[in-house]
Chains A and B, each alone.
Chain A
Amino acid sequence: MKTKSGKSRSVFAHIVLIILAFMCLFFFYILIVNATRSHAELQRGFSALPGSSFVANLQSVLNDPAIPILRGVLNSLIVSGCCALIVTYFSAVTAYGIYVYDFKLKKAAFTFIMMILVMPTQVTALGFLRLITSMGMDDSLLPLILPSIASPAVFYFMHSYMQSSLPKELVEAARIDGSSEIGTFNRIVMPLLKPAIAVQAIFTFVGSWNNYFVPALVITSKNKQTLPIMIATLRGADYMNFDMGKIYMMITIAIVPIILVYLLLSKFIVEGVALGGVKE
């Protein structure tokens, strides 16, 4: 009796899981299938089998001067790559400063960062835009990268990580061996933080790759646009009426690289989410 109810429960669980997994994958499946079909084929209705226009769609995307998608990929790579490097390095620097040293404002500094931990950047967007305009940094990639030096959430992650796996005695030992403070950090502490840095670098990269609100306000010229801005221009244009295959192909270019990287690192990433989520 008991095993029977357990069994039906388990069957139910599997059905729910399969439905959810189907929902998560189905849309991407249609996306990829449709990216291989021509506009005429798409007009005729849905088909579960891929078409033969993959190359044609890709070519029409790459040759469209109105939306320089390769330039967009490059811009997105620059911004996301720089952000990932800067965020992880400077968050580790800040966390190390507060974790290792004793100074008067230590507690105040930590409290302040914890207070702004989840403050949305949108609330200061107005002042931010006016500031970078007056600094002559509007319509450049720099204001999308520089502010990430101050990333409270990554700081908090690094600080917790140091508390659990960076013994202060190690810093003392390095000092006795004559290592300078910055040298100790760069040569001894940073290598120890590798697992934390890897997790946060991935999340920062993805977050920055997908970021739309601020870049859309900062960037005005076409050859500086990042991918999300280009996707948004698709929605505004009336491509819908004459080349749907092209639209599906552009969406594919924007999201498939991330999916591929994710599938390669999935186990690591899923563990990283759990690591960041545990509140002690």
Chain B
Amino acid sequence: MQKEKKIKSISYAKWGYIFILPFFLTYFIFSLIPLFDTIRNSFYEYYTSGLKVIGPKWVGFQNYISLLSADLPKYAWNTFVMWVLGFVPQIVIALLLASWFTNNRMKIRGKQFFKVVIYLPNLIMASAFAMLFFALFSNAGPVNGILKGLGIISEPIRFMESTLGARTLVALMNFLMWFGNTTIMLMAAIMGINPSVFEAAELDGCTNSQKFFRITLPQIKPLLTYTLITSLIGGLQMFDVPQILTNGQGAPDRTTMTLIMFLNNHLKSKNYGMAGALSMYLFVISGILCYFVFKINMDKDPDGSRSAAKKARKLAKKGGQA
């Protein structure tokens, strides 16, 4: 009987490997091999100039150094600024809406309608959305037309010719595309809080804002952290919107050029060495962010209470031994 059981479990283990094989094989071919190739290329001088191919010639960390001393910090800063401009209003509005939607005392009419509408932009093709904004906010476009018609301005506002204007447009689009998604995620987290906590708070005479700052916020902190980090990763990948809006130029004066737009330029011009080194910088930053996401997902103890208890037990044990 026992022998049979053992044989059985061995034969089933085989099936585990068979089921996960397609995933790992695909990942190996289309992600790991490319990763190693990218790493290798980052150490070579290897680019195309006109019809001539220069290299590959081993240059060590030369590509990494020249990226840092040239445009990379500027583009990293652009990306970060546009991310912040979009993320701050996104999280504030999402928190506000989520707390309204989940507040039973507050009768929001057409809740379902609003939820459907605010999520809509998240599904829109970013490149088409950017093209639309380019048309709408152009100097002779409808937005200037409406503002003129209302008598607010006499000359068209040149949105895309000022750094602030262009960056704000990118951030506005990112905000519109993501605040609905964040609202719905936060709502789910708030609804997961034990309602008796709120009831007890109400009995004790808590005000709405007290409930929000003392109960809701601390309770959904893990999800807020998660949202922050995944949004950072999303921000790092910012490409479609500024690329289409500025036709890849990052206008004005490359102040809306993001890191991935920079990578895209190197890939298009077949500058493998620089593209490789830039990819590696992105890989390291992404890796750090991935680690945080990993920690949050694998952590069954988000508020730290369990690990604190464990520590206390350990201490007690140590004390007992001594």
Q: Which of B16-24, B47-55, B73-81, B195-203 sits within the interface? A: B16-24
Any chain A CB within 8 A of the CB of B66?
no
Residues of B within 8 A of A114 (CB): 294, 297-298
Contact of B106 with A277 in the complex, beta carbons under 8 Å: no
B31 engages A46 (CB within 8 Å): no
Q: For residue A27, give the distance in angstroms from its CB to the closest CB of chain B.
A: 6
Give the complex CA separation of A115 and B286 in angstroms: 11
Q: Which of B22, B33, B268 has the most CB of A within 10 A?
A: B22
Q: Does B279 contact A (CB under 8 A)?
A: yes
Chain A CB within 8 A of B142 CB: yes
Contact of B223 among A30, A130, A209, A277 (CB under 8 A): A277
Complex: A15 Cα to B146 Cα, angstroms? 22
Q: Does A169 interact with chain B (Cβ within 8 Å)? A: no
Contacts of A23 in B (CB 8 A): 176
Are B135 and A247 in contact, CB atoms less than 8 angstroms apart?
yes
Is there an interface contact between A258 and B124, defined as CB atoms closer than 8 Å? yes
Nearest-CB distance from B23 to chain A (Å)? 4
Contact in complex: A278, B19 (CB < 8 Å): no
Residues of A close to B20: CB separation below 8 A: 93-94, 97-98, 109
Which of A58-66, A99-107, A190-198 lies at the interface? Answer: A99-107
Taken residue by residue from 97 to 126, chain B's Cβ proximity to chain A (1 for < 8 Å, 0 otherwise) reads as 100100001111100111111111101111
Assembled-state Cα–Cα distance A247/B298 (Å): 47
When chains A and B are docked, how far (Å) is the Cα of A103 from the Cα of B22? 16
Q: Are A277 and B34 in contact, with the CB atoms below 8 A?
A: no
Interface 1/0 per residue, A80-116 and B, CB below 8 Å: 0000000000110110111011111110010101111
User: B125 contacts A231, CB within 8 Å?
Assistant: yes
B96 at the interface (CB under 8 A from A): yes
Chain A-chain B contacts (Cβ-Cβ < 8 Å), number? 301
Identify which of B30, B33, B93, B189 gathers the most chain A CB atoms within 10 Å of its CB: B30
Secondary structure of the B contact surface, majority rule: helix
Q: Which B residues are in CB contact (< 8 Å) with A77?
A: none
Contact of A150 among B27, B105, B187, B293 (CB under 8 A): B27
Enumerate chain B residues within 8 angstroms of A20, measured Cβ to Cβ: 93, 97, 114, 118, 179
Within 8 A of A (CB), among B246-305: 247, 260, 263-264, 267-268, 272, 275-276, 279-280, 282-283, 286-287, 289-291, 293-294, 296-298, 300, 302
Chain B contact patch, size range: 35 or more
Complex Cα–Cα for A256 and B18 (A):
41
Is the Cβ of A212 less than 8 Å from the Cβ of B236? no
Is B282 within 8 A of A127, CB to CB? no
B237 within 8 A of A: yes
User: How far apart are B203's CB and chain A's nearest CB, in angstroms?
Assistant: 15
Q: Are A120 and B282 in contact, CB atoms less than 8 angstroms apart?
A: yes
B16 and A97 contacting across the interface, CB-CB below 8 Å: yes
Say whether B239 contacts A117, CB under 8 Å: no
**In whole angstroms, what is the CA distance A181 to B11 when docked?**
11
Tell me if B88 counts as interface (CB < 8 A to partner A): no
Q: Which A residues lie within 8 Å of B260 (CB)?
A: 122, 213
Can you sample 17 A-B contacts with CB below 8 Å? A13-B106, A20-B179, A30-B136, A34-B142, A45-B149, A94-B20, A94-B23, A115-B294, A119-B290, A127-B34, A131-B33, A210-B123, A227-B128, A240-B135, A251-B131, A251-B135, A273-B181
> Besides A103-B13, A274-B187, 17 other CB < 8 A contacts?
A16-B97, A21-B114, A46-B142, A94-B20, A101-B16, A103-B16, A126-B275, A127-B36, A149-B22, A150-B24, A150-B31, A212-B240, A213-B239, A235-B244, A277-B185, A277-B188, A279-B296
A-B interface, 9 closest residue pairs, ranked by CB to CB distance from nearest = A97-B19, A127-B34, A101-B16, A127-B37, A277-B185, A46-B145, A103-B16, A274-B188, A147-B30
